[in-house]
Amino acid sequence: MVKKLDQPPKYWDRLFAPSSCLAMITTVDAQGRPNAASYGTCTRVHHEPVYISFTTTMGKDTANNVLATGEFTVNLPRWERSILEKVRICGLAFAPGVNELEKAGLTALPGKVVKPPRIAECPRHFECKVEWTKEFANGRLMVCGPVVAASVDEDSVDKDGYVLWDRVMSAHYTGAPYSNGFVAAFQTMWVDRPYDGPEGAAYDLHEKQMLKEI
């Protein structure tokens, strides 16, 4: 098994990239029993401090658990068939108390700060505390909270904490209308901005200040 590296807070923002990813989110219930569920919509919504948000359905185990315990862990899988097959298993509606990690043949690693486990087969992990939730009229629940610990496979980042794209191999879910489809999200292109106006300079300054690079 690849060694996991604990990442300092200054690297958390660059570790969650791209800003929205396919995720397996782990929680525990009030009895401490683990649950894992797959989500196509999991997004970094704030840079510093780093906040992550996702939506789930009221009454589902994930919703019940985050409301009861106030913790969740975001695990980002690779775009590899073997792990994506396990993502699909974790997306099934098992009965409360059933351990989806065992059903999918995944390995639980203890969290560094929170009780929900990390998933060893995923290269990146973000442990979070729930700060707020918002229930929508259709029974959908948005969950948002700050990252309190992050870890990564040692072969998946460089010395400055930037992801190695060919190692993390981020993935997106195509969405329910496409059933069992996934999209690779790790092909990169660095694009210059062909504009010299003052707005460009203001944007660059704001970005540096936001990321604490000056």
Tens-digit pLDDT profile for residues 80-111? 999 999 999 999 999 999 999 999 999 999 99
Percent pLDDT > 90 in the chain is 85
Where residue 214 falls among pLDDT bands split at 50, 70, 90? very low
pLDDT for the residue numbered 122: 97
First-to-final CA distance of the chain: 38
> Above 50 in pLDDT, residue 153?
yes
Distance CA 10, CA 48 (A): 9
| Residue 66 confidence (pLDDT) above 90 | yes
DSSP state of 158: -
Residue 67 burial (CB < 10 Å; 0-12/13-18/19+)? Answer: middle
Are 77 and 122 a contacting pair, CB within 8 Å?
A: yes
Answer yes or no: is pLDDT of 59 > 90.
yes
**CA dist 79 → 123, 124, 142, 155 (Å):** 11, 13, 25, 16
Question: Would the pTM count as exceeding 0.85?
Answer: yes
Would you give the DSSP letter of residue 212? Answer: T
